[in-house]
Chains A and B, each alone.
Chain A
Amino acid sequence: MPPHLGDSHRRFLQSMMSNSVMDEQQARALYQHCCDIHKAQCVPDKLDDFIETINSKLQPMFMQIRKGMSEDNGQQYYALVNMAETDVTRMSSDYADNELELFRKTMDLIVSSENGKVSSTDVLNVADTLTIKKLKKSEAEQVLNRLVQDKWLNEKRGEFSLSIKCIIEMEPYIRRMYEDQLKMCHICHNVAFQCQICDSPTCGIKIHNPCVARYFKGRVEPRCPACDEFWPYEIPGISFYISIYKST
């Protein structure tokens, strides 16, 4: 029998529609809240089953509530995604064509970078090379600000990375677009932008920073899970453990 959709599911979905992205704690609280209102049974660790029920009804509309891990803090986030249009053009009601071109070029730079980040200077330099209509430096800065405000990009100390919302919503597009340039995490098998790469020239596997923290936690001598070579990097610190603890 197909799972039955109740008002608790509908209310949860409506909240997902009005919040572009939600972290796991918020989603759990919302799940509890929606069940309370509609007197539905709430099983604390069945959030993903609850969401799966909603997704089964969303599937004919090519929509889905997807989950993804933030590369910054290792937390899980949820977002409602329109799978029919996972590319940058979905943003066309909010951004002009040349602004979208700047965003695409920023993505190019981030994907091809070593560490999943790009400096604002590098982005401003490509603003000069736009084919549709060039953006002045000040205009490009404003566009970048808006992209951060709308949660498509993260900014930290003058460097940009892709936000969790961007990664969840555009992953299918990113996979299609950058196929062979993409790095995949050896641990969680998702696309990785900010990650550590195995030193051994014959191996070179990638692991997300939070996945590194989780995987090597408590091991005396960290070794690559693929080739068993010594893992030469600093294992991300205490802050990761805290956020991982919170989410498990």
Chain B
Amino acid sequence: MTQRKRLSNTQGRRSDPLEEDDSDLTFTQPSTSQVQRGLDKFTGSQMDQKAAEVIQYILVKDQKKIPVRRADLVKHVLKDYRYIYPEIMKRVLQTFDQVFGLKLVEIDTKNHLYILINKLEPQEGAAGPPNPKMGLLFVILSLIFMKRGAVKESECFQCLLYICGERHEQFGDVKKLVTDEFVRQRYLECVRIPHTEPVEFEFHWGQRAELEVSKAKILDFMGELHNQDPQTWSQQYKEAHAPPPAAPSTSQPNHSQR
């Protein structure tokens, strides 16, 4: 058996605001001989060039914080190089690490979605002018965290209404920012609450938030806000200072070689 098709999209895909809804079928697990032929066919500098294209592609997506799908990467960029995908990605990861200080992480192992996260320690007020949207996001994430992981949509909007009104000078439509942008960027996850009529939703932390935002920092922030020792929220404190769960399947986009 040389080729196994990945039928990852057979389970009903949840409506995903990604641009292209194409299956992962374009990526076929290469056989060893295909890999070898690929490696023979392309020179080192050709592979570097292809890696450069992959990097460009991922950076463009990342600018809008849209996760990259492996299927799109293969279809639009790798093309003939698909059989040596791991070899190309090795170069890509190395460059992200050494030149940009970024790390490519798979956030969805079923649909093979990747995002870039920062390897450098976040700095207050670094990276140019502060981003007010991120401030708002931080508030929402704090709210969810203090409520042990989930906040009803209606409750969240009530709180935001209180903080910044319905339309904000800089954000425009606040609701839209939260439900469209933050959810698309995977900072938030919007989940239907089962057995509700009319239908109700709640917000959870999205995968990007889990990877990029420190719960301990959030708790410190809450402590300062309420002038209270963070340790008094014992549950949250335990969660914030727990050892990180098994590291997110690192970088090397999985290629199960048998």
| Chain B, range 79-108, C-beta contacts under 8 Å to A | 95, 98-102
28 residue pairs of the A-B complex, CB under 8 angstroms, read A5-B98, A5-B99, A7-B120, A11-B101, A11-B126, A13-B99, A13-B100, A13-B101, A14-B100, A14-B118, A15-B126, A15-B128, A17-B100, A18-B127, A18-B128, A19-B129, A22-B128, A30-B128, A57-B99, A58-B99, A60-B48, A60-B52, A61-B52, A61-B55, A62-B52, A63-B56, A82-B56, A84-B53
* Smallest beta-carbon distance B100→chain A, Å: 6
User: C-beta contact mask, A13-44 vs B, less than 8 Å → 1, else 0?
Assistant: 11101110010001000100100010000000
* Smallest beta-carbon distance A9→chain B, Å: 8
**Interfacial chain B residues near A11, Cβ < 8 Å:** 101, 120, 123, 126-127
Instruction: Give bound CA distance, A13 to B98, whole Å.
Output: 12
B63 at the interface (CB under 8 A from A): yes
Give how many A residues have a beta carbon under 8 Å from the other chain's beta carbons. 24
B60 at the interface (CB under 8 A from A): yes
A10 at the interface (CB under 8 A from B): yes
**Interfacial chain B residues near A13, Cβ < 8 Å:** 99-101
**Interfacial chain B residues near A84, Cβ < 8 Å:** 52-53, 56
A14 touches B48 (CB 8 A): no
B216 at the interface (CB under 8 A from A): no
* Smallest beta-carbon distance A115→chain B, Å: 32
B52 touches A14 (CB 8 A): no
* Smallest beta-carbon distance B53→chain A, Å: 8
8 Å CB contact of B127 from A7, A15, A61:
A15
**Interfacial chain B residues near A202, Cβ < 8 Å:** none
Looking at chain B's contact residues, the main secondary structure is helix
B123 touches A14 (CB 8 A): no
| Chain A, range 135-156, C-beta contacts under 8 Å to B | none
A131 at the interface (CB under 8 A from B): no
Given contacts A14-B127, A15-B128, A30-B128, contact A61 B56 (CB under 8 A): yes
A10 touches B100 (CB 8 A): yes
A19 touches B128 (CB 8 A): yes
Cβ-Cβ contact count across A and B, 8 Å cutoff: 59
**Interfacial chain B residues near A19, Cβ < 8 Å:** 127-129
* Smallest beta-carbon distance A169→chain B, Å: 14
**Interfacial chain A residues near B63, Cβ < 8 Å:** 17
**Interfacial chain B residues near A248, Cβ < 8 Å:** none
Q: Which residue of A lies closest to B125 (CB)?
A: A33
**Interfacial chain B residues near A82, Cβ < 8 Å:** 56
B118, B123, B128: which has the most chain A beta carbons within 10 Å? B128
Q: Which residue of A lies closest to B102 (CB)?
A: A14
Instruction: Give bound CA distance, A14 to B95, whole Å.
Output: 14
Q: Which residue of A lies closest to B101 (CB)?
A: A10
**Interfacial chain A residues near B53, Cβ < 8 Å:** 84
B113 at the interface (CB under 8 A from A): no
A37 touches B123 (CB 8 A): yes
- Other 13 A-B pairs with CB < 8 A, given A7-B101, A57-B99: A10-B100, A13-B101, A14-B100, A14-B102, A15-B128, A18-B128, A33-B126, A37-B126, A58-B99, A60-B95, A61-B52, A63-B56, A84-B52
* Smallest beta-carbon distance B50→chain A, Å: 11
* Smallest beta-carbon distance A62→chain B, Å: 6
Instruction: Give bound CA distance, A19 to B64, whole Å.
Output: 13
A93 touches B60 (CB 8 A): yes
B99 touches A10 (CB 8 A): yes
* Smallest beta-carbon distance A47→chain B, Å: 16
B59 at the interface (CB under 8 A from A): yes
Q: Which residue of A lies closest to B123 (CB)?
A: A37
Instruction: Give bound CA distance, A35 to B53, whole Å.
Output: 30
* Smallest beta-carbon distance B47→chain A, Å: 11
**Interfacial chain B residues near A14, Cβ < 8 Å:** 100-102, 118, 120, 127
**Interfacial chain B residues near A62, Cβ < 8 Å:** 52, 56
Closest 3 CB pairs of A and B: A10-B101, A19-B128, A61-B52
Instruction: Give bound CA distance, A19 to B120, whole Å.
Output: 17
Instruction: Give bound CA distance, A5 to B98, whole Å.
Output: 8
**Interfacial chain B residues near A10, Cβ < 8 Å:** 99-101, 120
A10, A17, A58: which has the most chain B beta carbons within 10 Å? A10
Q: Which residue of A lies closest to B52 (CB)?
A: A61
B52, B64, B102: which has the most chain A beta carbons within 10 Å? B52
User: C-beta contact mask, B28-65 vs A, less than 8 Å → 1, else 0?
Assistant: 00000000000000000000100011011001100110
Instruction: Give bound CA distance, A1 to B251, whole Å.
Output: 30
| Chain A, range 66-103, C-beta contacts under 8 Å to B | 82, 84, 93
